[in-house]
């Protein structure tokens, strides 16, 4: 089965391929099947945004489409940046600019608890959808560390591993990450759906 990833992020594609290829699912980027849609993420939850993206790409291409909406939720900031993680600080900031702004906004804050959240939605042309959610708790580091990963990975610290997400190998990260957990749950639900 071919599934379109409603994203332009090749790193997300690699994570999805690593997990879904075991089920015989070929995941491709929008660009690989001639789709180019920009979806306004107007949802107030990760689930709503994942659905908006998957549904738009499925409608544009007529193929099953899967989308992930994920972000970092910081307890001391009432869950911010949350669904605005990719747009935190406004246009013009890159990943480094966003996590530097977040660290600045957390200056002097002792409560560093946070969690990565991932919501996955797959929309099918027949109107069906399969959804899953995953979370990974951690703490906000005081400074970035590591060079792998993307987004907020360099400042997302795992106390039990004594490493940030950016210091983990792709395999280590996939085994415990919010997206890895969401994809594992999604894979089981998708298998049940396809067999049903």
- Contact status, residue 53 vs residue 43, Cβ threshold 8 Å: no
pLDDT at 150 over 90: no
Binding annotation for Mg(2+): 40, 69
- Rounded Cα distance between 167 and 176, Å, is 13
Average of per-residue pLDDT values in the chain: 93
Band of pLDDT at residue 187, cut at 50, 70 and 90: confident
Higher-confidence residue: 62 or 184?
Answer: 62
Mean per-residue pLDDT, 58-69:
95
Binding annotation: 7-12, 40, 69-70, 150-153, 173, 178-179
> What does pTM read for this prediction?
0.90
Per-residue pLDDT at 149:
79
* Active site (catalytic) residues: 69
- Contact status, residue 128 vs residue 193, Cβ threshold 8 Å: yes
Encoded tokens for 98: 């966003």
- Contact status, residue 121 vs residue 50, Cβ threshold 8 Å: yes
> Angle 10-20/178-195 helices, nearest 10 degrees?
50
Among 143, 147, 195, which residue's Cα sits nearest to residue 173?
147
pLDDT at 17 over 90: no
- Rounded Cα distance between 121 and 174, Å, is 18
CATH of 2-195, one of 3.40.50.2300, 2.30.30.30, 3.90.950.10, 3.40.50.12780: 3.90.950.10
Q: How far apart are the first and last CA of the chain?
A: 16
DSSP-based three-state secondary structure for 111? coil
Per-residue pLDDT at 1:
86
Place of tokens 């591993």: 161
Band of pLDDT at residue 12, cut at 50, 70 and 90: confident
Higher-confidence residue: 103 or 187?
Answer: 103
DSSP-based three-state secondary structure for 190? helix
Question: 89-144 pLDDT, tens per residue?
Answer: 999 999 999 999 999 999 999 999 999 999 999 999 999 999 999 999 999 999 99
């Amino acid at each position: 089965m071919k599934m379109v990833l409603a994203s332009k992020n090749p790193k997300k594609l690699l994570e999805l391929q690593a997990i879904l290829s075991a089920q015989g699912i070929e995941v491709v980027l929008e660009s690989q099947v001639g789709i180019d849609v920009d979806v306004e993420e107007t949802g107030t939850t990760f689930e709503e945004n994942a659905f908006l993206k998957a549904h738009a790409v499925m409608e544009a291409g007529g193929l099953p489409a899967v989308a992930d909406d994920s972000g970092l939720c910081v307890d001391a900031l009432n869950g911010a940046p949350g669904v605005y993680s990719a747009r935190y600080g406004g246009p013009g900031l890159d990943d480094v600019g966003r996590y530097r702004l977040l660290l600045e906004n957390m200056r002097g804050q002792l409560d560093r608890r946070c969690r990565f959240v991932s919501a996955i939605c797959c929309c099918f042309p027949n109107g069906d959808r399969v959804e899953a959610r995953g979370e990974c708790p951690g703490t906000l580091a005081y400074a970035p560390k590591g060079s792998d990963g993307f987004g907020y990975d360099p400042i997302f610290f795992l106390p039990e591993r004594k490493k940030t997400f950016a210091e983990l190998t792709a395999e280590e990260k996939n085994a415990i990450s919010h997206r890895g957990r969401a994809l594992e749950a999604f894979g089981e639900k998708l298998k049940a759906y396809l067999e049903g």
